[in-house]
Amino acid sequence: MRIRIRIIGCINDQKFTARVSGRTDPETGQASISLAYSNIPPLWHPFNYSDPLVLTPDYREEDEALNFRSLAQSGFTAACTIDFGYGLVLRKTAEIRWAGGELHGGYAIWGTARCPDIVGVEPYEEFMHPAGDGTLIAIGMAHWRTGSGEIIEACVSTRYKFDEPKDVLKIRQVRRSVATLSRSEDGLIVNGGYETVVSPL
């Protein structure tokens, strides 16, 4: 499916926007995405935003696990906390819809982070648990590599709510993504290739 998303944010007291485009393939779990930023907040790196929730509807399904398009008729909302420790926290909300071969919607992200020198992102796993009809709660540990070889980590907790759920998740499952990211010379455009899969626990 085609991707069309708009992001608004305020990180480290600086506002920014971003336009997101790309494409997903649920058969292979592969996705490509491009984020065009208006500006980059100080002491933050755009590779920190490395888990685009707009990809979750089309994760490749494995062994009877269900991606988000199998769980909802036409969309979902998410509320997420990214906790780096030491009082450094980002919060993210998202509303994603799909229709006519397109994933569209918007995100908001705000808070405080100290990660200006990220050079890469480690593979990510999020463990998802049923929490009643049309609701999931999920947790994962995200890791980013810095130019000095150190690892920045954060605990990521998310609550998902599905619109008009067409199936109820009855099992715990895990979604996994591997991201390959690059950045334009002016630093304002991030391109990413993703390998994604959702599996039962």
The CATH number for 172's domain is 2.40.155.10
pLDDT at 168: 65
Instruction: Examine the pLDDT at 12 and tell me if it is beyond 80.
Output: yes
- pLDDT the model gives residue 180: 97
- How far is the first Cα of the chain from the last one, in angstroms, to the nearest whole number? 27
Give the mean model confidence (pLDDT) for residues 180-188.
97
pLDDT at 73: 85
Please give the tally of structural domains in the chain.
1
3-state secondary structure the chain: CEEEEEEEEEECCEEEEEEEEEEEECCCCEEEEEEEECCCCCCCCHHHCCCCHHHHHHCEECCCCCCHHHHECCEEEEEEEEEEECCEEEEEEEEEEEECCEEEEEEEEEECCCCCCEEEECCEEEEEEECCCCEEEEEEEEEEEECCCCEEEEEEEEEEEECCECCCCCCCEEEEEEEEEEECCCCCEEEEEEEEEEEEC
Residue 171: per-residue pLDDT: 83
Residues 140-161 have a mean pLDDT of 96
pLDDT value of residue 167 = 62
Has residue 166 got a pLDDT over 70?
no
pLDDT in tens, 82-129: 999 999 999 999 999 999 999 999 999 999 999 999 999 999 999 999
pLDDT band at 161 (very low <50, low <70, confident <90, very high): very high
Domain extent at residue 136: 2-200
Q: What is the distance between the alpha carbons of residues 93 and 80, in angstroms, rounded to a whole number?
A: 6
User: What confidence tens digit (pLDDT) does each residue in 26-75 have?
Assistant: 999 999 999 999 999 999 999 999 999 999 999 999 999 999 999 888 99
Q: What is the mean pLDDT of the chain?
A: 95
Does residue 133 carry a pLDDT above 80?
Answer: no
Specify the pLDDT at position 176: 98
